[in-house]
């Protein structure tokens, strides 16, 4: 996980519609950049729906929400349509951004060890500096917690 007070690495990734986004596009706004393991899984769905429900409140506070996983653009599109998600999902199948933000880690699940995305949320300020970093994210609680941080 990257430390608070450090410059957030810029990136360029496609969203669920294939449109390219750079972190630098959002200079002047706060960015909630959250990394999640997989579209359409129970925890990831709770987290995404929570951010979507609160999205108008985030925009009122001048913040944007960007969700990142290693799923494809097509997978993100289905996920967005299935749940009516109101924010941007970024596809990183090559894991360039996932690795740049240090969220690709060894995970243990029922004794089995594998590599995967550790659910992590970053709050990046208007100048591109990480001001909050959390890798102990509870999927259902994260959107409300981040709303209080913005």
d(CA 20, CA 114): 30
Select which of 44, 64, 85, 90 is catalytic. Answer: 44
d(CA 79, CA 81): 6
In the residue annotation, 44 being an active-site residue is answered as yes
d(CA 150, CA 147): 6
Contact by Cβ (8 Å): 7, 129: yes
Output phi, psi for 3, to 5 deg. Answer: -85, 150
List Cβ neighbours of 100 (8 Å cut-off, separation of 6 or more). Answer: 9, 11
The β-bridge partners of 122 are: 33, 133
**Residue 9, Cβ neighbours under 10 Å: how many?**
15
**Residue 141, Cβ neighbours under 10 Å: how many?**
12
Question: What are the residue numbers of the active site?
Answer: 44
């Amino acid at each position: 996980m990257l430390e608070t007070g450090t410059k957030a690495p810029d990136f360029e990734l496609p969203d669920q519609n294939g449109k390219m986004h750079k972190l630098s596009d959002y200079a002047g706004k706060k960015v909630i950049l959250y990394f999640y393991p997989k579209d359409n899984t129970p925890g990831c769905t709770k987290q995404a729906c929570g951010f979507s429900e609160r999205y108008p409140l985030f925009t009122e506070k001048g913040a944007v929400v960007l969700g990142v996983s290693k799923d494809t653009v097509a997978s993100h599109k289905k996920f967005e349509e299935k749940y009516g998600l109101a924010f941007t999902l970024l596809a990183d199948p090559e894991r360039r951004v996932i690795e740049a933000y240090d969220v690709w880690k060894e995970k243990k699940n029922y004794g089995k060890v594998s590599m995967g995305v550790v659910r992590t949320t970053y709050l990046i300020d208007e100048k591109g500096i990480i001001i909050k970093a959390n890798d102990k994210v509870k999927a259902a609680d994260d959107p409300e917690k981040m709303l209080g941080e913005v």
